[in-house]
Structure 1
Amino acid sequence: MNTFKSKFIEFTSYFFMLLFCYASVSKIMDFENFQVQIGQSPLLSAYAGVISYGVILVEVVIVIFLSIKKLRTIGLYGSTSIMSAFTIYIFLILNYSDFVPCSCGGILESLGWTEHLFFNLFCVIIGAIAVFISERTSGYSKWSTAALLLLSNILSCLAVIFLFLSSENIIKQDNNFTRRYLMHPIVEKQITLLDNSYYYFAGADNKNVYLGNIKFPQQILVLDSSMVIKKKMNIELDINELPYRKLETKVLGSHYYIFDGTVAMIKSGLLNRSKPEIVSQNEAYFSDLAVINDNNSFALRTQSSRTKELIIASLNVGNNSKVQLHADFLQKQSDGVFDNDGVLNVDPANGDIIYTYRYRNQFIVADSTFKVKHRLNTIDTVSTAHVKSVKLPDGKYKMEKPPLKVNGFSTVYRKLLFNQSFLKGRYESAKRWKNSKVVDVYKTDSKLYIGSLYMENRGENKVSDIIVTDQFLYAIAGNHLIQYQLTKPLLRHLK
């Protein structure tokens, strides 16, 4: 072998040794962060555990092979194959991924994805040349060398493609509790400081946001989409007419609704009139209410007078006002009370009713006639509510110990469910989790997990409620009202 060829093989071997040695050591030194990065890969999330260990192991083995002269050729084959795998990975990221992460990370973190792609191609080329020189020196034909080199590189690329396709199916449809955080799905646009921290969302449309207030339940605060306070509307209500204990307000279309399920009272009025009229009185006691449409049709969560279990009911107010119980809507697991607890929402775009269980990984989607269309799952693995209760002599239930919370606040808009989760998934940053609320996004018309987003705390104030319109996501954290602009990763899923 002439001096140039031997030097080229030696240079290439040392180059790959340095590259993989540094890469594997840096991964080992910051292994938790490396796993988090793989877990957030738009292609390989579902296999983060296996891949995080496998990549390090392969890199270390390649370094060992390259350092032993008799095994150097095998090490060069391995180097070329793994760089081909990295190359096809970046190609898929750039062309077929739902989003492109900020950077590749690793040894060449300062490079962009395109630059990293060219660097990898360069490594494949010099690796292939070194393999040819080494094999020709050993007496192997160029055709057998080319065939073996082509086969090893094709297999490594096919392995990445297989992982990508199967990972997409696992993450979006058969998720093993690995979250995928969308790349900048929302961008903070404006913040308005409210006069107190008792506000919640009563409703929203593309022009205005309506805030109810726990402490001042007869008040509705109206802000326009530029976050300017338009007015404080005070509803005329005689608080002495009934023993009100839980007054709440909701806004839909041109009407507002003020109600208290503990006294079976619902009143409604036009937004330009402060005096409401009775819609329903003494027809149904309830613990939660959602307005289905502007024609006084409601979804209620109430309690069976016979079994004391939670049940969903419909109330259609008109000439023949009627309450109808839907006994099969909720599915009891233990006591039928705490295990059936959840959040009741209505999609304002189509009238679909969505009920998200609080203590298990399921949400129910029904049409406006209460016909259940889907029983879908959130991505966590808590399929059975971890609640333990005892039945009291009066037939009521009491919890023996605090339950495991699974789902928190939620909102629905245009067949997307935005659901806050209490459970940390696999390969997630503990620090980021501590400083944020996590919201998972699901389709309501199919078994599909879209992705997740962080809702950052505002100092000691945590996000307590959210609502979505065609352009914005609004959040309340303490006395902060935050407006986020929706970006492409979410907008493309809004129907």
Structure 2
Amino acid sequence: MIMIVVNFIGKHFVKIVSILLALLFMYAAANKLLDFENFQVQLAQSPLLSAYAGIISYGIITIELIVAVMLCLSDSRQAGLYASLGLMSAFTIYIYLILNYSDFIPCSCGGILEKLGWTEHLIFNICFVVLSALGIFVLVRKNKGKTWNAILLSISTVIVSCLVVIIMFISSENIIKKENNFTRRFLQHPIFDDKTVNLSVNSYYFAGIAEGKIYLGNLTTPLFIAMIDTGFQNLTRVKITLDKKDYPFRNIQLQVKSPYYYLYDGNVPIIYRGKLNDSIAHTISYGDAFFNQLSVLDSGKFVLRVQKRADKQYSIGSLDLNRNPKLELKPTVLEKQIDGVFDVDGRLGVEAGADKVVYTYYYRNEYIVMDSNLNIRHRLNTIDTTKTANISVTKLSDGRKKMNAPSFSVNKGFALLGDLILNRSNLKGKHEPADSWKTSSIIDVYRTDEQRYIGSFYIRNKNGKAMSAMISDGIYLYVLVDNELQRYRIRKDAFK
């Protein structure tokens, strides 16, 4: 009986191998077609071939179906076996690169192979590479062809297939990290939901973080400073008294840089400063500058965004209370594209304890990194493709400018973390599931010292509302979502 089986296999070995390979390719192609959107998303999240997710998603299915048909026809079977050898070699080297050279190891495949880990999948593929090679060898001998030619062609097929995957891997890494075509790569659990505290109201914003405490300002009660320890054990509120307060304030803001807190309203050219253990804030600047954004560099030095009187355009400047003149504008920092106001609108921020100032544009894919003297270190780009602000501006009869169409916002806010910027994007990238976009905020991580995209992650909405702000102390990421303060633990080496 055993001999009969052996003889049968020996006689029909090529057909058996061809049928097995054809079934494998047909099943794989059908499985991808039935859930094509998910297949594209999985490819886009591949740590090796993200940049080519679109073309590969169509190409692989087409090739698998063609090779399956070739294996079923006697006239094209030999060519089909060579194609199978190349295809399985490409799949095998891909898995090898995943296991040894990728930034992270993603989830395994679906279908009948979903129970296999990457190592088991590698072994499975190697077995089919061997079967394809044996099928070629047996068929060539059966057809009385030249064995050495078949061996050389088989080796060449394997080498070329592997080289194609390796070249695509190297090219994809460069495209994704440096020349991205708006394909996001979602990091594998970079943060973990750790703790939450209910703040009762949703009008809080981050004023700063220092010495184990998070400081919060409140839009509805601007003269109160709220403090909570980073362990979320104790929340206290202190009312601040201004030494001079008879001014037409519109929007008083709070900012903390230990050992002081600062209060300001750029519509009135005044800055107050108080010690964190003192409820009285004293005037340290009056009449030096009108401004619409401020970041604290040190106790007497600030970065401002001002609107110039001459042309009403925005400009970045520094206010140094120990210098004469105190205000120095840097008109070349913000680059005008349309009107010099809306097209350069953005968010200003300073990294705590570091010589770094960052400005992100709202309506274009650029962020500017400066030193504390506002010398430009880098002009870097986010991964979306909006190089020019997509806005329409109308000038009113009184000289004011208004946007007369809905704005096309790109970036919504950021937090600094060492040499990284955690940027909240407002645009959906290629191959991203719409449901996740609707229920989450997407945070893209970039370097601030070079043009490099690291990856992305989600911050889930709360009660249908998206996050409003975030801040980090290097160990945790703190996020305000609706009326909650959420703490996420940052996984060690998550962004390397």
Same fold? TM cut 0.5? yes
- Which stretch of structure 1 is more off in the superposition, 160-169 or 205-214? 205-214
Alpha-carbon contact 2:199-2:484 (below 8 Å) kept: yes
Q: Tell me if 1:473 matches 2:485.
A: no
Structure 1 residue aligned with 2:397: 393
AA at the equivalent of 1:109:
E
Structure 1 residue 48, shift from structure 2 partner: 0.7
Alignment of 1:4 with 2:9, yes or no, is yes
Matches within 5 A, 1:124-203: 124-203=129-208
SS in 1 for 2:478: strand
The answer as to 2:113 corresponding to 1:113 is no
For residues 105 and 257 of structure 2, what CA distance do their matches in structure 1 show?
38
- Quote how far apart the aligned CAs of 1:401 are: 1.4
Structure 2 Cα separation of the partners of residues 94 and 86 of structure 1: 13
Within the candidate set 327, 331, 336, 1:332 is matched to 336
Q: Contact (CA 8 Å) 1:5, 1:133: kept in 2 or not?
A: no
Identity over aligned pairs, percent: 45
> Cα distance, 1:107 vs. partner?
4.4
Could you tell me which amino acid in structure 1 is paired with residue 186 of structure 2? Y
- In structure 2, what is the equivalent of residue 21 of structure 1? 26
**CA deviation map 1:236-292 (0-9, x unaligned):** 237852111111111112211111111111111121111122121111111111112
CA contact (8 A) 1:98 1:489 kept: no
Secondary structure, aligned partner of 2:383: coil
Asked whether the 8 Å contact 1:455–1:463 carries over to 2, the reply is yes
AA of the residue aligned to 1:361: N
**Alignment length, in residue pairs?**
491
Q: What does 1:74-473 align with in structure 2 at a 5 Å threshold?
A: 74-205=79-210, 207-237=212-242, 240-293=245-298, 295-318=299-322, 320=324, 322-473=326-477
| Deviations 1:440-471 (CA, angstroms, capped at 9, x unpaired) | 11111101111111111112121111112211
Identify unmatched segments of 5+ residues in structure 1. Answer: none
Q: Are the aligned partners of 1:221 and 1:229 in contact in 2 as well (CA < 8 Å)?
A: no
1:65 matched to 2:66 = no
- Residue of 46, 50, 53 corresponding to 1:45: 50
Preserved CA contact (<8 Å) 1:347 1:415: no
Contact (CA 8 Å) 2:439, 2:464: kept in 1 or not?
A: no
Once the two structures are superposed, residues 171-222 of structure 1 have per-residue CA deviations (whole angstroms, 9 ceiling, x without a partner) of: 0001111111111111111111112111111112462221111111122222
* Distance across 2 between alignment mates of 1:48 and 1:150: 28
**Conserved in 2, the CA contact under 8 Å of 1:260 and 1:266?**
yes
What does the per-residue CA deviation read over 1:29-51, in whole Å, with 9 as the maximum and x for residues that have no partner? 21111111111111101111110
Q: Alpha-carbon deviation of 1:120?
A: 0.9
Q: 124-133 or 154-163: which moved more?
A: 124-133
Counterpart residue identity of residue 226, structure 1: G
CA root-mean-square deviation: 1.6
Amino acid in the other structure paired with 1:190: K
Amino acid at match of 2:397: P
Does the aligned pair in 2 maintain the 1:206–1:469 contact within 8 Å?
no
TM-superposed CA distance for 1:230, in Å, is 4.3
Which residue in the other structure is 2:3 paired with? none
Give the drift of 1:106: 4.9
The secondary structure found in structure 2 opposite 1:110 is coil
Amino acid at match of 2:297: I
8 Å contact kept, 1:266–1:281: yes
Q: Secondary structure at the match of 2:355?
A: coil
Q: Do the aligned partners of residues 303 and 114 (structure 1) sit closer, same or farther apart at CA in structure 2, a change above 3 Å counting?
A: same
Structure 2 equivalent of residue 36 of structure 1: 41
Matched position secondary structure for 1:153: helix
Distance in 2 between the 1:462 and 1:58 partners? Answer: 42
Alpha-carbon distance in structure 2 between the residues aligned to 1:358 and 1:380: 12
Q: Partner amino acid for 2:393? A: S
Of 34-43 and 226-235, deviating more is 226-235
Moved more, 350-359 or 227-236: 227-236
* Separation of aligned partners in 1, 2:241 and 2:263: 10
Distance 2:109 2:318 in 1: 52
Which digits, 9 at most, give the CA deviation of each residue in 1:133-161, with x for residues without a partner?
Answer: 11111112332221111110111111000
Contact 1:348-1:413 at 8 Å conserved across structures: no
Distance 1:106 1:95 in 2: 24
> What code does the residue aligned with 1:39 have?
A
Relative to structure 1, the CA distance from residue 289 to residue 106 in structure 2 (aligned partners, 3 Å threshold; closer, same or farther) is farther
Residues of 2 paired with 1:135 and 1:319: CA distance?
87
Deviating more after overlay: 439-448 vs 104-113: 104-113
Residue of structure 1 aligned with 2:494, choices 477, 484, 490:
490
Aligned pair in 2 of structure 1 residues 159, 488: CA closer, same or farther (>3 Å)?
farther
CA contact (8 A) 1:182 1:489 kept: no
In structure 2, list runs of 5 or more residues that go unmatched.
Answer: 1-5
**Do the aligned partners of residues 227 and 321 (structure 1) sit closer, same or farther apart at CA in structure 2, a change above 3 Å counting?**
farther
Q: What is the identity, as a one-letter code, of the residue corresponding to 1:118? A: I
What letter corresponds to residue 403 of structure 1 in structure 2? S
Distance 1:26 1:239 in 2: 71
Asked if 2 retains the 8 angstrom alpha-carbon contact of 1:22 and 1:107, the reply is no
Amino acid paired to 2:429: G
